[in-house]
Structure 1
Amino acid sequence: MIEYSLIEERIGAFKRDLFELEEEEIIQKCFQHNMDPVCISNDTYFLLKSKISKHFGLHPTDVFMVGSGKLGFTIKPNEQFRQFGDSSDIDIAIVSEELFERFWKAVYLYKNEVKYWPKEERFKNYLLSGWIRPDLLPPAKRFSEAQEWWDFFRNLTASGEFGPYKISAGLYYSRFFFESYQKKCITLCKEIIYRESGFLEDVSNK
């Protein structure tokens, strides 16, 4: 059951942190410190991390819950502070050079053979940021790696072990790229809070 009072408390604490902490410190507090998710228990989160890491041959520390399922609210651009709800997803970040390179190689071979897919340019833009978004991969019917990815997470969702929420994931090359994206999101949140508070400084130019 979602505790909306807890979410309100977390939003308030996060907004205070935006004034008091550096972006790197907020990332550590939110994603590396032992902050419980709001959508499932900590024991269930451990099970989820374990299943994902075993499936891909990774260590559980390479698997993070992010987004509103973890924080209670989103920090995604243009959706800042939207609260987790019954229709929200559980978003997972997987950080692995080996797995990233496996998908990158598969995409390279697909590109050489098939030449083009509709989401190719958007895929490349995220690839330059060290992030593979599975929804931008070549079509699953023609790209087995995408089909296997979607099948795994679809089955995780259907199991019901992790609540009624859809489970999805993104893949990062390294923690540098994962933290760079989170830092960008936090900086944009700072800009919103600074403007609401009457500050004129553009924190993105600090």
Structure 2
Amino acid sequence: MTEDDHENAITKSMTEFKEGLRRHEHPLQVVREFITHGSCTVISQAQHALLRERVAAELSIHPNRDVYTVGSAKLGFSIKPSRRYGHFNDESDIDVAVVSAELYNRVWQEVRSFISSKEVWSNRRKDEFKRQHLVGRISPKTIPKGSSLLPSAEKLWELEIRLQRERIAGPYRVTFAIWHDMEALEGYQAKTVSDCQKMEMI
């Protein structure tokens, strides 16, 4: 994809997304049309399928039911308040949402064992972990690295490195978040979409 093709794809995606914001009454409808369904704007359909298949195989989950690209890679632009409608660029990551109660609970049990061990965990990362855990999300980057008590998180970090090294998603870094269930993922996305809808109505 040339740079012009890349920008044209993002512009088209943004136009359709904003139209969807106005067309749908409920933000969850927008989430299901544009975020948890369909292709990924910034990588090819073949790359997107390979990425999902590879993640699913590594984590023993289903590629179509449990693996989703989200964020600016999915749409071609961010909808987070701090970067709303800022385009995906060479510094951006491919954000992958893994929806698996089994994996989520396994990581959580490991974190509980880690807490009981009194090993070092920075307050900044610990506080971010708590905030995410409240909405049913766990990001490996909030968990301390290098502990034998956290093998599932270590596996995710190693997978991120391998996917980038093998350029499964082109030159972009892949990052993970584990969601307890689909309701948690969609609910989180719907809050941000709701803010976008309010802006479109002004």
TM-score, normalisation: structure 2:
0.89
Q: What is the distance in 2 between the residues matched to 1:161 and 1:184?
A: 31
What residue is the counterpart of 1:140 in the other structure?
145
Q: What is the distance in 2 between the residues matched to 1:67 and 1:193?
A: 19
Which ranges in structure 1 are unaligned for 5 or more consecutive residues?
Answer: 200-206
What residue is the counterpart of 2:193 in the other structure?
186
Amino acid at match of 1:17: G
TM-score, normalisation: structure 1:
0.88
What residue is the counterpart of 1:38 in the other structure?
41
What residue is the counterpart of 2:160 in the other structure?
153
> Which stretches of structure 1, 4 residues or longer, exceed 3 Å deviation after superposition?
none
- Please state how far the C-alpha of 1:27 moved relative to its aligned partner: 1.0
Percent identical residues: 30
The reply on whether 1:105 has 2:112 as its aligned counterpart is no
- Please state how far the C-alpha of 1:84 moved relative to its aligned partner: 1.2
Question: Does the residue aligned with 1:162 lie in a helix, a strand or coil?
Answer: coil
**1:15-26 alignment to 2 at 5 Å?**
15-21=18-24, 22-26=26-30
Amino acid at match of 2:113: L
* Higher mean C-alpha deviation, range 127-136 or range 71-80: 71-80
| Kept after mapping to 1: 8 A contact 2:96/2:174 | yes
User: Residue 13 of structure 1 is aligned with which of 13, 16, 41?
Assistant: 16
Q: What is the distance in 1 between the residues matched to 2:36 and 2:161?
A: 26
RMSD of aligned Cα (Å) = 1.5
Amino acid at match of 1:58: I
Q: What is the distance in 1 between the residues matched to 2:81 and 2:110?
A: 30
Q: Which has the higher contact order (CA 8 A, sep 6+)?
A: 2
